[in-house]
Structure 1
Amino acid sequence: MAGIISRFKDIMSSNINALLDKAEDPSKMIDQYLRNLESDLGKVKAETASVMSEEKRWKRQLDECTENMEKMHRYAEKALIAGNEDDAKLFLEKKSELVNKQQTLKQSYEIAAGNAEKMRSMHDKLVKDIGELNARKDQLKVKLAVAKTQERLNKIGSSIDGAKGNMSAFDKIEDKINKQLDEANAMAELNSLKEENNIDDLMSKYDDEKSTNPEIDDELAELKRKLGL
């Protein structure tokens, strides 16, 4: 009996919520704990039935002893009424023996009754825990699934934040490249304008001399003729 009480001591002191809080995987913990409880419940039921049977046996013997004590007392009274004092004495001696036996039986019964009460408490707690877990199992698993989904979303969010940082860095690089390209294009445009100006200057060197006013030229020629020049 002591072994059974010791073996199931943790069942009596266990706290479902505390166990789930410590579990790395609450979903697996729920299923495993239920399997353990179902197994324990079978053992406790068998042991409880055995202890309760023992309790009844000691109670029956105690009741029989008490009934025999009362019977010996009644027979002692009848013997005295009949004037048979020696018979009455024998009945009282038998009653005295039964009194000692009653004390022993009473102690045994009290121990058996205590053990039966402990086993009944274990049984009732196991039934309650199993019923509670079965009622909460699906709800807990749904909550756990939601929690895992949220964890994945949080990780994705962190990845997106990292991607945003990378995109920001890429934008800066792109801006720098665009700036270099714009500067190169501007320089090329300036070089093109300079080349065109040089060609224009070179072409003007070979252009005809600047033309003068024809009327002035004619008048100048007439004046040179008169002067004999």
Structure 2
Amino acid sequence: MGILSRFKDIMASNINALLDKAEDPEKMIDDYMRQLNSDMSKVKAETASVLADEQRAKRVLDECRAEIRKLLNYAEKAVESGDEEKALKFLERKAIQVEKQNQLQVAYDAASANALSMKRMQEKIVLDMGQLEARRVHLKEKIAATKAQQQLNSRGGSLGASGSVLDAMEEKVNQAYNEAVALAELRAEPKDDLDDLIAQLEKSMNANPEDELDAMKDQIKNKE
């Protein structure tokens, strides 16, 4: 399954919470960044294959749906011409295709879910990278401010503005985090339910061939 096997771990990771508990935040930031870069490389390498699987599953499903519509059309024309035996054969073949369609729908749903998971992982990794970079910048600035304070202390001076400077830095990090979260939310797309709706409509066609034949005959009578 490749990188998809790490989906839960990647999505559940909380970079800020882990860094807050770290004894050496600077080292941990470097370690996490290397891991995220590795994960991103794997996501990019496997995405093409996952998307190809999704497209292939959709193409086969669409072909099956087209065959169902074609057989249904043939059956209707046979009923209109008075050949009920031929119409029944078309409907029986259609019933087999409907069963096949149900299996293909399951395969397509799985492939589509994998493609969505790849997209969500990529967005999460990008978000985590942004948080790490923001924490790295904040950490370096905080260390620099601390060193400046220590130098002044060694000379008997003080850095009265250090508190406000650090507060401003923290506000900058919080703003960067909020912007990253907002960007991820904007990138998230609602699931397209069109295929599900089509599947539900076509499942309603999964009737007994004899019953369908009777229904077609009734429709033709109503038209007369």
Q: TM-score, normalised by structure 2?
A: 0.60
Cα distance, 1:83–1:59 mapped onto 2, change above 3 Å: same
Give CA deviations for 1:120-145 in whole Å, capped at 9, x if unaligned.
21111011222333344323222134
CA distance in 2 between partners of 1:44 and 1:23 (Å): 27
Partner of 1:80: 79
- Which segments of 5 or more consecutive residues in structure 1 lack a partner in the other structure? 158-229
Partner in structure 2 of residue 105 of structure 1: 104
Asked if 1:6 corresponds to 2:12, the answer is: no
Q: Is the alpha carbon distance of 1:54 and 1:148 closer, same or farther for their aligned partners in structure 2, counting shifts above 3 Å?
A: farther
- Indicate the larger mover: 107-116 or 47-56: 47-56
**Structure 1 residue 84: deviation in Å?**
2.6
Report the counterpart of residue 142 of structure 2 in structure 1.
143
Match of 2:35 in 1: 36
What secondary structure is seen at the aligned counterpart in 2 of 1:88? Answer: helix
TM-score (norm 1): 0.59
AA in 1 matched with 2:103: T
SS in 2 for 1:144: helix
Compute the displacement of 1:152 (Å).
8.6
What SS is found at the alignment partner of 2:129? helix
1: CA distance, partners of 2:109 / 2:25: 42
CA distance in 2, matches of 1:53, 1:47: 10
Structure 1 residue 83 displacement after superposition? 2.8
CA contact (8 A) 1:30 1:137 kept: yes
Inter-CA distance 8–85: structure 2 relative to 1 (3 Å threshold): closer
Q: How far is 1:148 from its partner?
A: 6.0
Alpha-carbon separation, structure 1, partners of 2:20 and 2:134: 18
For residues 11 and 78 of structure 1, the distance between their equivalents in structure 2, rounded to whole angstroms, comes to 55
Aligned partner of 1:133 in structure 2 is 132
Secondary structure in 1 matching 2:123: helix
CA 76–18 in structure 1, closer or farther in 2 if over 3 Å, else same = same
Paired amino acid for 1:146: A
- CA distance 1:85–1:151, shift in 2 (3 Å): farther
Aligned-pair CA distance for 1:151: 7.2
Q: Which letter maps to 1:36?
A: Q
* Runs of at least 5 residues in structure 2 that lack an aligned partner in the other structure: 156-224
Say yes or no: does 1:47 pair with 2:52. Answer: no
Q: Is the contact between residue 61 and residue 105 of structure 1 (CA under 8 Å) also seen in structure 2?
A: yes
Please give the residue correspondences for 1:166-185 in structure 2 after superposition, counting only pairs within 5 Å: none
Q: Distance in 1 between matches of 2:117 and 2:45?
A: 14
In structure 2, distance between residues paired with 1:122 and 1:60: 25
Work out the percentage of aligned pairs sharing the same amino acid. Answer: 56
1:24-53 C-alpha deviation (Å, 9 max, x unpaired): 222222222222111111112223332222
How many residue pairs match? The answer is 155
Alpha-carbon separation, structure 1, partners of 2:134 and 2:53: 35
**Over alpha carbons, which structure has the higher Rg?**
1
Counterpart in the other structure of 1:27? 26
**Paired amino acid for 1:64:** E
Which protein has greater RCO, CA pairs closer than 8 Å, 6+ apart?
A: 2
